[in-house]
Amino acid sequence: MKPAPFDWHTPGSIEEALALKARFGEEARFLAGGQSLVPAMNFRVAQPAVLVDLNRVVGLDAILAEADGTLSIGAMARNARVERDATAGNHPILAEALHEVAHPQIRNRGTLGGNLSHADPASEMPAVMLALDARFVLRSARGARDMPAASFFLAPLTTALEPDEMLAEIRIPALPRGAGTAFLEVARRRGDYAMMGVAAMVARDADGVCTAARLAFCSAGPTPMLAPRASAALVGTRLTEADIAAAADLARQEVEPMGSVQASPAYQRHLAGVVAARALRLAWERAA
Amino acid sequence: MSRIPVTVTVNGVAHRREVEPRLLLSDFLRHELGLTGTHVGCEHGVCGACTIRLDGAPVRSCLIFAVQADGHAIATVEGLAPTRGTLSVLQQAFQDAHGLQCGYCTPGILMTVSAFLEETPDPSEEEVRHALSGNLCRCTGYQHIVDAVLLAARRLREAR
Amino acid sequence: METRHIGRPLTRNEDPRLLTGRALFVDDVELPGMLHAAFLRSPHAHAEIRAVDTAAAKARAGVLAVITADDLGEYWKPGPLLVPPPPIAGMTFRQRCQVPLAKGVVRHLGEPIVMVVAESRYVAEDALGDIVVDYAPLPVVGDLEAAVAPASPRVHPDLPDNIAAEVVQRKGDYAAARARAAHVIRRRFLYDRGASIPMETRGIVAAWDGKADRLTVWDTTQAPVVIRNGLAAMLGLSERQVRVIAPFIGGGFGPKMMMFYPEEVLVPWIALRLERPVKWIEDRLEHFTATTHERGQIHEAEIALDAEGRVLGVRDEFLMDTGAYNPYGLTVPLNSQCTLLNCYDIAAYESRFRAVYTNRTLVTPYRGAGRQHGVFVMERLMDAAARVVGLDRIEIRRRNLIPPDRFPYRNEIIFQDFAPLTYDSGNYAPILGKALDAIGYDRFVAEEQPKARAEGRHLGLGLVMYVEGTGIGPYEGAKVRVQSSGKVTLATGIGTQGQGHFTAFAQVVAEQLGVDPRDVEVTTGDTDQFDWGVGTFASRGAVVAGAATHGAATAVRAKILKAAAEHFECAEADLVLEEGKVSIAGVPERHITLGALAQLANPLRGAVKPGTEPGLEATSYFGPEMGATAAGAHAMVIELDAETMRPTILRYVVVHDCGTVLNPLILAGQVQGGVAQGIGNAFFEQLAWTEDGQLLNASLADYLIPTALDVPRMEVLHTETPSPLNPLGTKGAGEGGAIPVGALFAQAIEDALDLPARGIEVTEIPLSPSRLWEIAHGDG
Ligand SMILES: Cc1cc2nc3c(=O)[nH]c(=O)nc-3n(C[C@H](O)[C@H](O)[C@H](O)COP(=O)(O)OP(=O)(O)OC[C@H]3O[C@@H](n4cnc5c(N)ncnc54)[C@H](O)[C@@H]3O)c2cc1C
Ligand code: FES
Ligand code: FES
């Protein structure tokens, strides 16, 4: 389990990094935390000819709160830092979900941008991004574009990134007024990818009526999945146990789990209802 | 294949070598520098045997290329004891509580725990188990490892 | 027995080296000019090899050798049959052992086809990518029951079918017992494959020293002496010319035994040919298919009871997956067969097994080595029987325990050590009693569980019993010597993989010689230090090598006293041997240190007296007439999340009787480690295969071994019934922790969900939340 040979480039600036990627295209991969890419290289399932190492790029790891409440996270911000960062703390679901992502030693190295670019459908953070309605800024030597998280994930391990593009920044809008969030998953062991996981956001008004809801699942299909019908069904309710059960039921129907070594699709579907109900209760309580 | 110069400080000592970019840091430490205390159990980031501290933070040395460590400071198990022939408080606690059997997982666990106890000097058993959850041990069933960490934490607190 | 050192929780002598990163493991061996091997392995479970093209690999810079089966010439031979089957009347046994490199056909995933030797492991792996093999896939034999069907494709076409062995053993008259029975209960049980996954994979370094005319081999083996003898014979060298060192080993658990794995046979061979040191370290991906597995069995079992719940007889018939080859003979299925009767007094038993060749990795013993299957079947039958008879699950066990006055207890059938299965000693009721108290059985049943149920929580209790045949022969030896420094050395032939031999054996020596155990330097696993013996397996190290150590230390003690009596011109009876010196009783100022005495025993002038040998040294061997039987009970309370089917273990109790305890600290560690592996086996670990024989979870991310959060705190209690079979009274303790956990989980989960009330039983291992969810929803 030793990686195949490659050429290694360590750009110091974003521009340099983008120029290298433009030059080498599909031949090259960005190396972020390496916590998904290097295992794949050690197994030789990935054999990139060129690595463009982002670890020495300046200015790609900032975590900032903007005036309108948007949280901006640079792609190279390490997961351990995002987990602890006070600014990112305005979105407690980030730390709550990151806590389930691997182990501290992996999070010390792995980056949020790398995690999202890897686009593992079992991964927690893509689902969180969907629930938070985040937007991603993609950059290339040609320029920049941004897109909603929901458009970024196309298929397992496949994103909307063009061969010359980098995920540069994650932009998370302020939560709606009166919002509460929760992340919950069922995994075999701590730190494993989830058999089923859900990121939930619900908002309530002063009268205790739900004004907004977003449920997004991981390990529920080929990409992270929103459950629009379950989410819509909650708006206007008071999230009574019956409302939650009805939404969980819808969610169970909306997910498209593919099954894995650890879980049959039927069990995963069942779990979708379980975690949805539990996360909704928790998020609603937090919204109070 | 091109070789790239790297200078890495390991346990306070600077080492300079020229290496292929693909050389894993774990192999660099073990086979270039002869620091074989860092063990390798999976080379895909799961077992934790290769855990070292990179600029203080515990990380998997099997998932970093040696060239990436250029200019960084690394701590390995060989640097834990204050002097040759003695044991650190943490190491001593592992002996006293029988926190190791074959000892293969031990260096990675010590490096993980040394960082953990700096951040969490008075941990609960639950916290200790969480901190250990990224290091696999196949021999001990963990109980004596947990005991060793709690013992070390107590002794370190008392020494302060 | 009044002891000074035996039985003390001494911390370990070997730890400082391990804790500071200075212990030598095989991959730590670095030699000038060393080359690195890598193996091209079959990506198919079963295929014909039509052609192998190695030209590009040979041409790659840095590659020194590319070896196929054809290049091996005369050296290409199937490996040895390591454990010949015991003589059991009427049995069938068809030996097929693994070959060093596949020739013409591959029979399991990961079977090696080509060996590459290069300047680095990185380059060796590059060269593997250059090799082109033309495979024609063959039908795969995977499913055990399909494998024994007449129409099944065959793993070895020269055999009439896939049956590797068939054995029937009987005790008493089962048919008569059944005819008398008030209840006969029949069940089918499944136990699936798993892997031992030591944290260190296998590895080997071989170096030929032309000047010394010697080969040195560092090997992750549990049996260095056997490997030394075998390699010498294969390579045409004398035993003197081969030194095998099993240095520190990162966990063994069985599969690192005396396998003569292909790599173990090939790396020394190529090192000799190239006259350069060669290293091969198995990587984790290789480990999943190239290191042996264990566990797959299917049982159809029947228990016959009288109206009071006394077991009249048991009948069992099982299939056992032995993989593509079976160098270990009948060891695993015989263990299952012989452990099934467990700690119960059962007059009639009829058992038939068939070991079946499949296109899967070889099966050899892994901690428990088939014992857990037997225990699983018996304990599950007991639970089912309790319900049918209308007894409490504890009461039915109590009624059937072998009473203490029946030892030695004979089960009549033949055990893996070739001797009729006999339990040497035991006292089982106190074990059960202690477990009940410690887990709080009565309170759980009367209060805790009803209260939890009322709150909608699902608490379940499990309590099962087991026996463990340990400490089998043939023999081990030990050499003890007092050095002129006063320190004592001990050498044995076994390897050590974390069992604390450096300390426990030091305690045995210190006990006799009155020295500090810290002053006893133990060497294990180096054939230059000691080269008789068999190895560390079947929980035999502490028992057999421990007894040999005791014998050698006792002999040295006698030499010390004799020499000191001559020195002081007094009677031996007047001497006191303690704290590293011999003194005259009542006259402590008249003393001589052991070091000085050792020097006297090695005179530089004059001569040793006729008839005496120089030195304070003795070698002793011990071979038990049969294995010693340890026993125990495990109990646990779990809480099950009935929605997710995830269990949380709230309490875990082990009561263990392994005879005399040498070191309770080390013993507790062994037991706890065993339980952790048992939990893995029962709940986390399962190799997942596709129909065409691919392994879906060959990584530590997907094959789940328990973490610190999955293994609970355990309370380990002991009872001590010494074994009459060896002078120390010890029984083995290496495997007991792992054996009963499957049965325990099954019972506790049934209890938590009250499954039997719905007519559902748990009859398989391993379980997973997903599988449990199916079972609980009637999809058994
Ligand atoms: C033992 C273990 C357990 C794990 N468990 C989990 C888990 O439970 N949940 C989970 O979500 N993850 C888990 N991971 C994966 C981990 O979170 C990784 O850190 C993460 O998936 C990838 O982040 P990285 O920064 O390490 O990216 P890398 O591994 O460096 O890169 C991953 C991929 O993304 C590309 N890439 C990286 N950055 C960019 C960028 N800015 N723009 C474009 N492309 C980019 C790379 O080229 C590569 O293809 C686990 C990993 C390990 C080793
Ligand atoms: S060897 Fe690095 S985590 Fe296992
Ligand atoms: S002590 Fe052997 S793996 Fe932990």
Residues C528-586 have pLDDT tens digits of 999 888 776 666 777 888 899 999 999 999 999 999 999 999 999 999 999 999 999 99
- Chain A residues touching C707 at Cβ < 8 A: 189-191
Contacts of A191 in chain C (CB under 8 A): 707
In this structure, the residue with its CA closest to atom 4 of ligand 3 is: B137
Q: Within this chain, do residues C561 and C600 fall inside the same structural domain, yes or no?
A: yes
Model-level pTM greater than 0.90?
Answer: yes
Tens digits of residue pLDDT in B49-66: 999 999 999 999 999 999
Contacts of C773 in chain A (CB under 8 A): 267, 270
Nearest CA, atom 20, ligand 1 = A115
Q: Which ligand is nearest to the CA of A187?
A: 1
Residue A163, both tokens: 């061969």
C715, part of any domain = yes
Q: B28 lies in which domain range?
A: 4-79
Considering the domain architecture, whether residues A102 and A157 belong to the same structural domain is answered as yes
pLDDT in tens, C44-81: 999 999 999 999 999 999 999 999 999 999 999 999 88
Tokens 């007047």 found at: C574
Closest residue (by CA) to atom 43 of ligand 1?
Answer: A166
Structure tokens at C727: 């002078």
Q: Say whether both C644 and C570 belong to one domain.
A: no
Q: What separation in Å is there between the alpha carbon of B41 and the centre of ligand 2? A: 5
- The rounded distance, in Å, linking the Cα atoms of C543 and C551 is 12
Question: How many whole angstroms separate alpha carbon B60 and alpha carbon A240?
Answer: 46
Please tell me the total count of domains within chain A.
3
Cα dihedral: C217, C218, C223, C226 (round 10): 0
Q: How far apart are CA B134 and CA C421, in angstroms?
A: 43
Note down the domain range covering A121.
63-172
Same structural domain, B58 and B93: no
Q: Which atom of ligand 1 is nearest to the CA of A109?
A: 26
Q: Are residues A219 and A163 part of one domain?
A: no
- Domain membership of residue C182 (yes or no) is no
* Torsion angle in degrees (nearest 10) through CA of C658, C663, C666, C669: 50
Q: Are residues A228 and A148 in the same domain?
A: no
Which conformational region is residue B85 in: left (phi greater than 0), alpha (psi within -120 to 50 degrees), or beta?
left
Overall number of domains in chain C: 2
pLDDT attached to residue A288? 78
Smallest Cα distance from C50 to chain B, Å: 33
Structure tokens at A44: 């030789």
- Indicate if the pLDDT at residue B83 is higher than 60: yes
Say whether both B74 and B98 belong to one domain: no
C246 to chain B, any CB pair closer than 8 A? The answer is no
Assess if residue C741 is contained within a domain. Answer: yes
In a domain, C459, yes or no: yes
State whether C582 and C684 are in the same domain.
no
Tell me if C366 is assigned to some domain.
Answer: no
Quote the minimal CA–CA distance from C644 to chain A in Å: 7
- CB < 8 Å to B134, chain A: 102-106, 191
| Tokens (6 digits) for C10 | 């001494």
Calpha distance C212→C361 (Å, rounded)? 39
Q: What CATH code is carried by the domain that includes residue B71? A: 3.10.20.30
Domain end, chosen from C589, C622, C655, is at C622
Domain boundary among C622, C644, C671: C622
Helix axes C428-439, C393-400, angle to 10 degrees: 160
Q: Let me know whether C644 and C537 are in one domain.
A: no
* pLDDT greater than 70 at residue C606: no
- Using pLDDT thresholds of 50, 70 and 90, give the confidence band for residue C605: low
Q: Among A113, A139, A172, identify where a domain stops.
A: A172
- Specify the residue for token string 């090696």: C112
Residue C402 in any domain: the answer is no
Contact: A267, C773; criterion CB under 8 Å:
yes
The residue of chain C with its CA nearest to that of A187 is: C646
Q: Is C504 left (phi over 0), alpha (psi -120 to 50) or beta?
A: alpha
- Protein residues whose CB sits closer than 6 Å to any atom of ligand 2: B 40-43, 45-50, 60, 62
Do the domain assignments include residue B125?
yes
- Whether residue C87 is preceded by a cis peptide bond, meaning omega within 30 degrees of 0, is no
A47 falls within a domain: yes
Tell me the CATH number at A45.
Answer: 3.30.43.10
Question: Which residues are within 8 A (CB) of B148 and not within 5 positions of it... i.e. 6 or more apart?
Answer: B90, B93, B94, B96, B97, B98, B99
Residue nearest to atom 44 of ligand 1 (CA): A117
Angle between helices C371-389 and C331-339 (to 10 degrees): 30
CATH of the domain at B146: 1.10.150.120
Are C635 and C776 in the same domain? yes
Which residue among B23, B55, B79 closes a domain?
B79
Same domain, C454 and C524: no
CA of C703 relative to ligand 1 center, distance in Å:
20
User: Cα separation of C262 and C264, whole Å?
Assistant: 5
Q: Which ligand is nearest to the CA of B102?
A: 3
Å from CA of A99 to ligand 2 middle:
20
Q: Can you give the CATH number for the domain in which C480 is found? A: 3.30.365.10
What would the pLDDT profile of C263-321 be if each residue is shown by its tens digit?
999 999 999 999 999 999 999 999 999 999 998 999 999 999 999 999 999 999 999 99
Arithmetic mean of pLDDT over chain A: 97
Burial class (CB in 10 A: 0-12, 13-18, 19+), A245: middle
Whole-number Å distance, alpha carbon A107 to ligand 1 midpoint, is 10
Does residue A58 lie in a domain region? no
Pair (A193, A282) in one structural domain:
yes
CB of B63 within 8 Å of any CB in chain A? yes
Residue B145 lies in a domain: yes
Chain A touched by C690 (CB under 8 Å): no
Could you tell me if C694 lies within 8 Å of chain A, comparing CB atoms? no
Which residue in A5, A43, A261 is closest to C688 by CB distance? Answer: A261
Residues C677 and C721 in one domain: yes
Phi, psi of A62 (to 5 degrees): -75, 145
| Cα of B79 from ligand 1 centre, angstroms | 30
pLDDT band at C608 (very low <50, low <70, confident <90, very high): low
Assess whether A120 and A100 both reside in one domain: yes
CB distance A102 to A137 below 8 Å: no
Which residues of C are less than 8 Å from B10 in CB distance? Answer: none
Within a 10 A sphere around the Cβ of A158, how many other Cβ atoms? 12
What average pLDDT does range A122-148 have in this prediction?
98
Q: Total structural domains in chain B?
A: 2
Do C450 and C586 lie in one domain? The reply is no
Is residue B11 in some structural domain?
A: yes
- On whether both C492 and C527 belong to a single domain, the answer is yes
- Picking from A100, A261, A270, A281 by the largest number of C CB atoms within 10 A of its own CB, the best residue to mutate is A261
Contact A7 B21 (CB under 8 A): yes
Domain that holds residue C507: 473-622
Structure tokens at C370: 């088939």
Q: Are residues B66 and B105 in the same domain?
A: no
Atom of ligand 3 nearest to the CA of B103: 1
Encoded tokens for B10: 């390991």
Write the pLDDT tens digit of every residue in C414-423.
887 788 899 9
Q: Are residues C558 and C577 in the same domain?
A: yes
